[in-house]
Amino acid sequence: MTQNTAAVIQAITSIVNLIFVGGIFIFERRTGKKSINDEKKEFWYRQTLLSRGLDLTGECFDTMEQLLRSSEEFINGCTPENEKKIKEIIGKIQHQIYILRNGVVSYAKLFDIALFKQLKEEVERLEDGITQGIESCYLAAGNNAKFADKGIETELSNLQKHRYMIISKLYDYDTKV
């Protein structure tokens, strides 16, 4: 092997090594940036949706539970006064759902559209179920207190199911982040 051939082989080897090291460097930077972005996303998810969102979710559901319990005294008799009170309670429950929608569900859109859609659908089912449930308890109960009490207990149970579903969706997403 001549000295020129050895120099050419050494130059080719150096270029291949340089390309290999450069490729590793670029790969490390890209995966490092992705890792940093994933960590940021996880941090903000936990700050906005989990810590603040779970507190707000708990407050809204506790308030809705209190409102449902307070509706028991107005469901037993079909009077104009009771109907007015029931409508007020439904309005207050819808306000709590509005707070839940804007304080938790809307933030999910920042992180994942699929999570946002799941939470939105669950909140819509909650709103439809609770408002229709109270109205049907009121209209069907008439003067039958046993039916009204049983209907409210059913609605309280449904409320807890929706609470569980929303919280579990938030935690399930957290384990994926």
Range of the domain at 107: 45-176
- Whether residue 32 lies inside any domain: the answer is no
**Residues 81-129 pLDDT 10s:** 878 888 898 899 999 999 999 989 998 888 889 999 999 999 999 999 8
CATH number at residue 129: 1.20.120
Query: What pLDDT, on the 0 to 100 scale, is given for residue 1?
Result: 59
Name all contacts of 99-105 with Cβ < 8 Å and 24+ positions apart.
99/56, 99/60, 100/56, 100/57, 100/60, 100/166, 103/52, 103/53, 103/56, 103/60, 104/49, 104/53, 104/56, 104/57, 104/166, 104/170
Share of the chain above pLDDT 70, in %: 81
Q: What pTM was computed for the model?
A: 0.72
Q: Does some domain include residue 24?
A: no
Query: Is 38 within the bounds of a domain?
Result: no
What's the CA gap between 159 and 94, in Å, rounded? Answer: 13
Q: How confident is the model at residue 144 (pLDDT cuts 50, 70, 90)?
A: low
Report how many domains make up the chain.
1
pLDDT at 141: 55
